[in-house]
Structure 1
Amino acid sequence: MKFLLLLQFLVCLASRVAGKVYGRCELAQVLKEAGLEGYRGHPLADWLCMAFYESRFNTSLVQHEFDGSTSNGIFQINSRLWCGDYKHFQPNKCQIHCSDLLTSSIRDDIVCAMRIAQGPRGLGAWMGWSEHCAGRNLTIWLDDCEL
């Protein structure tokens, strides 16, 4: 009996910690419900395009940067400024541990991305958005999504 309870607990814990690769329309719905449609003047398609080119919608993606920092999660939020990694004494402007950005739950990722987007560069803070999304017709990102 104790073994079954332990197994159940471990399965529950693993599902909370595990990352996820979102589908395009599924992510669009989550971002819309979180209030990103029109946030800081950017339509939902901008956020989808940015997330795709940053992580391919993968919440568990970690990129190791040349300066020793990491870019984390679906929006590739960098440890140099935005999240804490216990390796560096950095600003941690989003007041979150970088590992929290790697789970299937992206509420904290969204809150941090909104904070980043409030800065002077807006979505231009993300290279993926600047190179692939800025100034383009992005309506295709929402095609066939029932929002």
Structure 2
Amino acid sequence: MLAPVTGRPRLMSGMPSPSPALSQSGGASASATSTEARSWAPRRRLHPPGSMMLAFLSLLSCLLAASEAKVYSRCELARVLQEFGLEGYRGHSLADWVCLAYFTSGFNTAAVDHEADGSTNNGIFQINSRKWCNNFNQKAPNLCRMYCTDLLKPGLKEAVICAMKIAQGPRGLASWEAWRHHCQGKDLNDWVDGCDL
């Protein structure tokens, strides 16, 4: 016949049993066991809240992009945009694109402007995160299918691809307020004059 179990139930049922060394040393009582139990207790790790982490990553990516920033000269940009095939794209001249880049970013690939609604305008063409790129906000449409930080690269490939997608829309370059106010309907020959294209 088995003797009934008496005494208080073990509170640390999920914890491993004390090591044989502790249980065999008659003098190593409860304090050694509680020390071991504390060492097995899950430690609380401090992580910043998700929004803080996203803000940190966004800031870090902007700083990295800024370290690679390039401010183009007028003719240098005209030559690069010509190589990407923007001359005559959707009925717009190369001068239209150069004028747009000047009045949106001052030819700066790392330009970022923050809007009141929390969105950002990014890169040499100041493409907005509300609709066109992902700024660590999964709810935005991201029609260009790229991160906004990709638009800050000095090589311009992503910025040009996204700008071309915007220009395919019914408004063309009129999608940019800067182009409507400063470039549309004006003689823009000076923007590419003397550039040896």
TM range (shorter): 0.7 to 0.9
User: For the pair shown, which has the larger CA radius of gyration, 1 or 2?
Assistant: 2
Matched, 1:27 2:77: yes
Give the alignment partner of residue 180 of structure 2, picking from 124, 130, 133: 130
Tell me what 1:90 maps to.
140
Give the alignment partner of residue 121 of structure 1, picking from 171, 192, 195: 171
Specify every segment of 5 or more residues in structure 1 that has no aligned partner in the other structure, as ranges: 1-13
2:100 alignment partner AA: M
Instruction: Compute the RMSD of aligned alpha carbons.
Output: 1.5
Write out aligned runs for 1:76-115 (5 A): 76-115=126-165
**3-state SS of 2:121 partner:** strand
Tell me what 1:62 maps to.
112
Tell me what 1:9 maps to.
none
Tell me what 2:99 maps to.
49
CA–CA distance in structure 2, aligned partners of residues 37 and 64 of structure 1 = 30
Specify every segment of 5 or more residues in structure 2 that has no aligned partner in the other structure, as ranges: 1-63
CA–CA distance in structure 1, aligned partners of residues 117 and 95 of structure 2 = 31
Write out aligned runs for 1:2-41 (5 A): 18-41=68-91
CA–CA distance in structure 2, aligned partners of residues 39 and 103 of structure 1 = 22
Tell me what 2:189 maps to.
139
**3-state SS of 1:119 partner:** coil
TM-score by length of 1: 0.87
**3-state SS of 2:100 partner:** helix
Shift of 1:143: 1.2
CA–CA distance in structure 1, aligned partners of residues 70 and 88 of structure 2 = 25
Shift of 1:88: 4.8
CA–CA distance in structure 2, aligned partners of residues 144 and 133 of structure 1 = 19
**3-state SS of 2:194 partner:** coil
Query: How many residues in Structure 1 have an aligned counterpart in Structure 2?
Result: 134
Shift of 1:103: 1.5
1:91 alignment partner AA: P
CA–CA distance in structure 2, aligned partners of residues 86 and 139 of structure 1 = 39
List, as ranges, runs of 4+ consecutive aligned residues in structure 1 with deviation greater than 6 Å.
Answer: none
2:194 alignment partner AA: D
TM-score by length of 2: 0.66
Tell me what 1:7 maps to.
none
CA–CA distance in structure 2, aligned partners of residues 138 and 42 of structure 1 = 11
2:79 alignment partner AA: Q
